[in-house]
Structure 1
Amino acid sequence: MEFNWRAQKILLALSDNLDRRLIINKLSFRAIRQVMVGLKRSAEERWVAMRYAKTWPPYRQDFDGLDAKRTPEDDYSRSVKAGILMKQEGYTEDDYDRALDILGGSSAESPTIQTRSLPPKEWKGDKEQWNFFNRWGMKIRATRNVNEAWRVFTTFSDITPNAQVYGEMFLKLQARELHEEADLLPGDSRETFHVHQNNLSEYELARQSPPTVAELYDQMISHGIKPEGHCLYALVRNARTIQDGFRYLRDSPCDPVSVNSMALFKLPSYQALRRIPLLAFNSYIQLLCRLQPDRGGRQKFHADEIIRIRHAITLIKERLKPHTTEGATFRPPWHAVFRALARPYICLTNGTQAEDDAEALRTSTDLLSSVVTTVGMDPDIFKYYCRTIQKAAVSRLASLQSSTENPYSPGFAATATGEHVPLVTGLQDILRELKAIFDKLVAPVEQVGELEAPIFLHNVGPLHLHTYMRTLAFLEDTDGMVDVMRWMLRNRRYLDEEAERKNSRGPALIAKTLCAFQAFAGPQLSAGQADEMARHMDAVAEAGGNWRWPTPEEVDRYVQSDLRGGSLRLRQRYLARWWQNALENELDDGGVDRVAME
């Protein structure tokens, strides 16, 4: 939506320079509003939301003198202001426009929260009256918690909700509750806020409490409403069990034979899988990946639990074949698999954590060829692959550290003889693959004429670079880290723009990337490399940039912030190697007596 808004602003600016301006009709206003409801809150909108979040319903209140000076129009979001302009131009408002009003945080019926969201589907022609359900569904979406959503759901007691309205209620019931320390406001994300009981009696609490997902689903089926569309997708991907997911799919309009063929330990044909809609198929893949078990001490899992993610991979390869359009364009199932493999404690073998993490890395590496030959690589898959490498290296590092404390272990003997054990198996192959992927992602786009084209083929931002820098550190490739630092310095203006898009998080990630470089590459830099990096950073400072090398205290805080302890162990490993190299250099230079004295 952010890029859509950039494109729309270019068109609007172009119109101002024409002899006859482009006419902004009702559909134009609607397109602008559909984009605006998907944008992050501006600083002004966030300021208003902080005041409205203090009470519910979010009626306007004056908390101080500054609030008293503000007019009601000052609190309108950009989407609502565009809707007002549309009405001032003489265009009438319908149910779909009212649904956009609700998402924008303004409604004539009741106050609502400005909610960042994709716009609902617009019904046209004979089905235009169905936009009423859009309005109803968006009112449920623009609430803070399940109790508020349930009150909105039961607003129209004389009308049976459709699958869209049920779907919005299911999403509220399935959403996680937000932690109190999170820096989020109502409407920023899908997470729900805490329900304030206000000293209500037990009877009143029971009366106002919403049903469970199972109770609401039974109610929906009893009214003759089948799960379909986004309602079906939400139910399947968030199901408690595989059996529940199959129940939702069987109750839906999907072909029952094809649904049954996707069960564990079965191998459906391509023709059978084609009869499952892509988004329903993706929801089932997400369910399999989410329910792949995580490690719990010495707990052992049954085969039908361990096999889930491998079954998901088999289904994806059969459904998304390289020679098909869907196979060459549909990435979400691959994202689900790579995201699951990057999870810190995912269990794949019923072995030790180090064995599970190594198996996750082997599986991810093997899948890269399938991804490249179908949908191609993208920054998200690259990010998940980097995280999988990191967690395998962290587990291996912990194992090596414990083994070096045991004088009877192979690790102790290897360390005693000065051998350097790599943290991942197949280090050189993985490094080669990783660098090749990064080079493809940041391949420059040829600029043709005056057309403003993207600089690189993919949108690589501070998050991807921080993850990549840390991964190279765990692969102990100092030269690779230097190359990434050179790339960042060459493309500083591009990275500053990307960081600005992420608000405060973007600059923080760039600072973390610099901390990672200093923490891990710093001790290993040659004199020439250190001088080169210093010159580049001095040039940045002279040009007025806000990049700087972190202080030793900031580097220490960065290392200590790693909850799994991998950063601290890795830094100790780097420093130990630096000290060993320094001793060897002293000995080679004839400084035996001085080293012995020290």
Structure 2
Amino acid sequence: MRLLPISRSHTSVLTRGRWVFAPNWRVFSRRPEYQSSQAVALAQNPSTWQTPGVASSNSASYQQSISSKLPGAEVESHSNERLAISPNQPLVDSSDLCDPDIFLSESKLPAAELESNENERLAITPNPLLIDVLDLYRDPGIFLSESKLARLRALAVNNSTQLVVITAQYILREVPQLDPRIGDLLCSNEKWLAKLHRLARNGLSAGDVSYWAWTLVSPDPDVRVARFMSKPCQKPLFLLCHLLLKNAHFSPDSFEGLLKYCRKWCSYQQIGRGFAKAFARSYVLNPELFNRVAENLCFHASRLQSDALPEIADLSVAYIKSIAQRCQHPDKAYEFQCKVFNGALQAVSVLSKRTPYQQASQNWRAITILLSLSSSLKHPLIIEGESYRAIRQVLLALPKTASERKTAGALSSSWPPYRILRDGMEEKADTQEYLSRVVKAGFMMQEAGYSKKEIDVTTDVLGGMAPDGSPTIQTRAIYPRHLRVEQGTWAALVRATRNAQEAWAAFTNPPESGMRPTFEVYWELMVKLAARQADPRHHNLPGDGREVFPFDDRNLSDFEKARISPPSMPQLIEQMYNAGVAIEERPLAWLLRRAPDIETALEYISHSSVDEALKNSLRQCLKVSQKPVITIPTRPSRPIDLPHKMLHATVDLLCRLQPNRTKNTPDYLPKHKLYSIHHAFRLAQTGRNLAHTSDRPPLELIMLALGRPNIMVSNTAPQDNNIEVVKMALKVLGEAEERGALTLDMLNAFAHAIRKLVYSSISMSLSSTSAMLPGDEEFVSLYRARNTELAVPNGPNVFRRPDAADNVDGSWRQIHTPVFEAQQEQENLQTPCKVVREASERLKAVWRVLLTKASAHPPFASPRVSEMNIYHYMRTLVAVGDLEEAVLLLCWTVRDWAPAAGAKLTPGKVRTLTKAVIVFRAFAEPLLDERAVASLREEIETNSEQGGPVHWPADQQVEEYVQGDDMGNHQNLHEVVKSAASRSKIIRCQELGKDNDVD
């Protein structure tokens, strides 16, 4: 069948391997120089690998003791530091390596050397032998299966001189109480020293092996990376590959360190001088290994920091260019270039684990960098079928373009949703012009000679085209190219609809007669039933999100409306149960999060396919929260071990069911109705801290619930209830700090809770008809005018305290923690003023913990701090009257945060920053000395003239912000601030009058 014609003028069409729309980017992005606090400590005071009978590999005595035992005459002690050469220096002589290139020469090697080369490649990859020996070292009493024991015994008798084998044997020899079945096979000390002597003759030393082993043995991945980065030299590839294993859940700072290392050593096929041919391949990346390194880097970038994907693409571009420069065979070079190019395309297409939709633009930017390289070459690189699928996967996650939005806004309300042609130009246009980029990329893949598979048909459906060529709703989706779903096309047809009625019609009309729906088909219908109605004030179009749009039933009879109406969620779950469709752990967690009440949640549990033990545990957790209680326990009666998905879902459900105070809320609620969030906190305390999960931590869910505007945790008056909310928030944050789970979202929720207490206290003070009570006077005393100019530090690092950080080793976080360990006893926090003061002090300390990254010398502004964090923090500071901190926050935003954010600031983010300055002007400026305000204004305006994102707002903007609060909280706070400023002026005039009388 002839393929449908594709317009060559469309900006997203690939023509013979070239993506003509991709910008020809040549400027590589650069990240701040990384040096973790652990690496700093290691570099300044190299630690020793403390193992029984092993001295420090870095000590001179150790080097001499090894050298003296080596057979033969004098042996020079080699240091790995000599390998840290510049990338621009000449590489090892070609005569020392295999001709023409070290990674292209295997076809010309003798058979024995080919076998050795293959062994070396296997050794460089994630090696099960290395993993086995590290597991044994960390836990000598671990049970050894027959296969693991066989591998370790084979390692013990291995006579290879491969670096990974020698390092593994080094670690194996230091395992305490080594199993005799393994230990008896190890070579004697004389043979071991002879093997180390062969290393020394080839440019390495026993100290190098000890350093590699010391790097690997730590069970903490962050410590392993810090040790790896403690020496600024090139390391064997097996070290890098092991650190980048996908099950290594290291921190963002560690990832930045590894990326910095790869930028220096992995963009070229380079090694330092002094290596013999025997070990050269342990340091040089061939295309296969480069693809593996790039794939693992992209995996960790998607987990931690998606904005690093363009840098990895730049790294791949540099490597691809170096192949052409150093390979003497053009055909072979082109083959390897295509191999790396396609591996990089597929690697950078891995979407973010936590925020895939928000970060998909980073994936697309990385892809365009690679496509721009191909377009710039004389012979464009070949794009494989899997690479096309990777590109389509990213395009599917991107928001609609302007032309796609225009098409989506012109679809008919009937089904199929054909485009309504609104003028003669549209009638003359080819229908292919209205296809989405996803569908057009599919046609390009066919044009390149690749046949479509089921995953491609499913992608077409989500991209806006059904298998029969009729239109569907272009749907933004996360659909991995490796995903193989039974009846995936049918599930996609259910999803690519606008509402539950259309989804139910697609569900009841399978693509082929006789098909029975699988769980995936049911799942898409479940999501449609649970989706919220689209907000008419937003500009979302069908398919932009999970929300559903109104169904046009104006011309339908009541009978027809009833016929096409989908079942309710409980009815659908019961239908699945009767049909024998399993509801496993993950969809059950999703259902529990959306259950309207405990009874419905219990029904979902009963109809699920999880084991009975888990069902009983879940039932117990939910039923306990509904029992009448006299006093709230401080700890769970017994630990409950739930899978983390189930724990998160249960905590989320209990927090959502915590009541809110509304105008229809009775004066008194039964205590068990107020117990849900307390029970959720007890459950969260029993859960394990899994930092690598993409779900929000349970404690963060509780904090977000406490930040809700009208949440009730007691039957007391609003002000007293808000006091209880803040007290509970302090407990939750203390638990989170103990687990190392403090997040910026938790800080935002804590700030919300503090502001609620402030606003309710101010409202009570202003509404009092009698004289001001002592408690009100104490609270109003928070707002005092500053008659003297505040001391603002000069230059960047505004929040850094030299007296606390200059002489302290370690990270910024280590200097300021613990935050909540020294907080006052809850019994001492009785009045609103005391609670607000205590909470605001803790808030400031948490802010200092989370706003920076890397070490305290100096602290960099964390890229995880957003403009919304700054805005909410500023609102809270002015609400509690902390003027000094508000001034510091404004200076830090201008001097530290904005330069680090750079080009990532969109117009919407700039408007949020302006709102933060408006808040400062409205509630802090009236209480500050005029000279301090003038100095701040001058700095901000100067920065704005130089292109900075922070602007000084006009008086009209300030007035509109104050009067724009429908709740009246801004007006009340503004009145209190103006009263405090007026009192300060009166007092100042009285003091001046007294001075004049004295004169």
Amino acid at match of 1:487: W
CA distance in 2, matches of 1:418, 1:487: 24
- Deviation digits for residues 63-95 of structure 1, max 9, x if unmatched? 246645765454444444443443333333222
* Alpha-carbon distance, 1:446 to partner: 6.9
2:905 maps to: 499
Decide which moves more: 2-11 or 207-216.
Answer: 2-11
CA distance in 2, matches of 1:301, 1:53: 50
User: Mind listing any 5+ residue stretches in structure 2 that lack a counterpart?
Assistant: 1-301, 325-336, 343-382, 626-635, 785-829
Within a 5 Å distance, the mapping from 1:130-209 to structure 2 comes to 131-156=485-510, 158-209=514-565
Equivalent residue pairs, number: 573
Contact 2:577 2:608 in 1 (8 A): no
Amino acid at match of 2:521: V
CA distance in 1, matches of 2:307, 2:545: 20
Contact 2:407 2:419 in 1 (8 A): no
Structure 2 residue corresponding to 1:258, chosen from 617, 624, 635: 617
Contact 2:553 2:561 in 1 (8 A): yes
Contact 2:647 2:683 in 1 (8 A): no
CA distance in 2, matches of 1:427, 1:412: 13
2:473 maps to: 113
Q: 1:277 to 1:422 in 2, by over 3 A?
A: closer
- Deviation digits for residues 200-249 of structure 1, max 9, x if unmatched? 11111111111111222221111112322553233211112112212212
CA distance in 1, matches of 2:572, 2:603: 14
User: Mind listing any 5+ residue stretches in structure 1 that lack a counterpart?
Assistant: 448-453
1:535 maps to: 938
Structure 1 residue corresponding to 2:720, chosen from 349, 355, 358: 355
Structure 1 residue corresponding to 2:729, chosen from 350, 364, 368: 364
Contact 2:531 2:547 in 1 (8 A): yes
CA distance in 2, matches of 1:37, 1:212: 30
* Alpha-carbon distance, 1:352 to partner: 1.7
2:705 maps to: 340
Structure 2 residue corresponding to 1:567, chosen from 946, 951, 970: 970
CA distance in 2, matches of 1:71, 1:332: 51
Could you tell me the percent identity over the aligned residues? 28
User: Which structure has the bigger radius of gyration?
Assistant: 2
Residue aligned with 1:425, SS: helix
Instruction: Indicate yes or no: 2:790 matched with 1:425.
Output: no
* Alpha-carbon distance, 1:423 to partner: 5.8
Within a 5 Å distance, the mapping from 1:541-556 to structure 2 comes to 541-545=944-948, 547-556=950-959
CA distance in 2, matches of 1:580, 1:71: 73
Structure 1 residue corresponding to 2:600, chosen from 244, 254, 269: 244
2:873 maps to: 468
- Determine which structure has greater relative contact order: mean sequence separation of CA pairs < 8 Å that are 6+ residues apart, divided by chain length: 2
Within a 5 Å distance, the mapping from 1:29-108 to structure 2 comes to 29-52=388-411, 57-64=416-423, 67=426, 71-108=430-467
1:315 maps to: 683
Structure 1 residue corresponding to 2:851, chosen from 436, 442, 445: 442
- Deviation digits for residues 389-431 of structure 1, max 9, x if unmatched? 112211122122223x223844567699999899653334322
Contact 1:441 1:457 in 2 (8 A): yes
* Alpha-carbon distance, 1:295 to partner: 1.5
* Alpha-carbon distance, 1:317 to partner: 0.8
Residue aligned with 2:905, SS: helix
Contact 1:166 1:231 in 2 (8 A): no
Residue aligned with 1:261, SS: helix
Contact 2:863 2:901 in 1 (8 A): no
CA distance in 2, matches of 1:256, 1:417: 54
2:770 maps to: 406
Q: CA RMSD in A?
A: 3.4
Residue aligned with 2:536, SS: coil
TM-score normalised by L of structure 2: 0.53
Within a 5 Å distance, the mapping from 1:582-597 to structure 2 comes to 582-590=985-993
Q: 1:75 to 1:335 in 2, by over 3 A?
A: farther
Q: 1:261 to 1:316 in 2, by over 3 A?
A: same
Instruction: Indicate yes or no: 2:742 matched with 1:374.
Output: no
Contact 1:164 1:231 in 2 (8 A): no
2:790 maps to: none
- Deviation digits for residues 284-314 of structure 1, max 9, x if unmatched? 2211111111113434322222111111111
CA distance in 1, matches of 2:747, 2:453: 44
Amino acid at match of 2:649: S
Contact 1:53 1:185 in 2 (8 A): no
* Alpha-carbon distance, 1:105 to partner: 2.9
1:302 maps to: 670
CA distance in 1, matches of 2:898, 2:781: 44
1:210 maps to: 566
CA distance in 2, matches of 1:413, 1:518: 24
CA distance in 2, matches of 1:584, 1:204: 76
CA distance in 2, matches of 1:415, 1:281: 40
1:514 maps to: 917
Amino acid at match of 1:431: S
CA distance in 1, matches of 2:893, 2:472: 43
1:286 maps to: 652
Instruction: Indicate yes or no: 2:588 matched with 1:232.
Output: yes
Amino acid at match of 1:406: S
Q: 1:64 to 1:477 in 2, by over 3 A?
A: farther
Amino acid at match of 1:426: V
TM-score normalised by L of structure 1: 0.86
* Alpha-carbon distance, 1:332 to partner: 3.5
Q: 1:344 to 1:64 in 2, by over 3 A?
A: same
CA distance in 2, matches of 1:368, 1:440: 13
Decide which moves more: 389-398 or 290-299.
Answer: 290-299
Residue aligned with 1:262, SS: helix
* Alpha-carbon distance, 1:175 to partner: 1.7
Amino acid at match of 1:239: A
CA distance in 2, matches of 1:510, 1:400: 31
More helix by share: 1
Contact 2:463 2:473 in 1 (8 A): yes
